[in-house]
Amino acid sequence: EAEVAQSPRYKITEKSQAVAFWCDPISGHATLYWYRQILGQGPELLVQFQDESVVDDSQLPKDRFSAERLKGVDSTLKIQPAELGDSAMYLCASSLDGLAGVSSYNEQFFGPGTRLTVL
């Protein structure tokens, strides 16, 4: 069964260091999402790609976060420098198509996430 792959599963870093997370979506999925989930809260969208283009990064803290999907397949999310408040689960998801039709839903399939701890 096709799955969204993420690595690493766990990352511990010190504040002011740089960290990077990798995501490989389900083959053929045009849309890729990065979410951040803080403990006790629901996932919050950071950035959404349609193929290699960013279609929504309104909640991405662009002073320290960056994301790319150069060939429209896998993606990397980077944080530099990391801060204590960045400790969270970072989830990647993909869907066939990101367009929101009426009465339809292009299911988002989530990866297992990367648990980031900033010390």
Residues that bind another protein (CB under 8 A): 4, 31, 40-45, 48, 50, 55-56, 91, 93, 98-103, 105-113
Q: State in angstroms the smallest separation of the CB of 46 from another protein.
A: 11
Nearer to another protein, 18 or 99 (CB): 99
Terminal-residue alpha carbon distance, the chain: 37
Which tokens hold the place of 89?
Answer: 């689960």
Nearer to another protein, 14 or 44 (CB): 44
- Helix (H) or strand (E) run with residue 108 in it: none
Q: Which residues pair with 35 in a beta bridge?
A: 45, 91
Q: State in angstroms the smallest separation of the CB of 81 from another protein.
A: 27
Q: Using alpha carbons, select from 59, 60, 66 the residue that is nearest to residue 80.
A: 66
The label of the residue with tokens 């990352």 reads 11
Nearer to another protein, 82 or 93 (CB): 93
Q: State in angstroms the smallest separation of the CB of 29 from another protein.
A: 14
The label of the residue with tokens 């979506």 reads 25
Q: State in angstroms the smallest separation of the CB of 92 from another protein.
A: 8
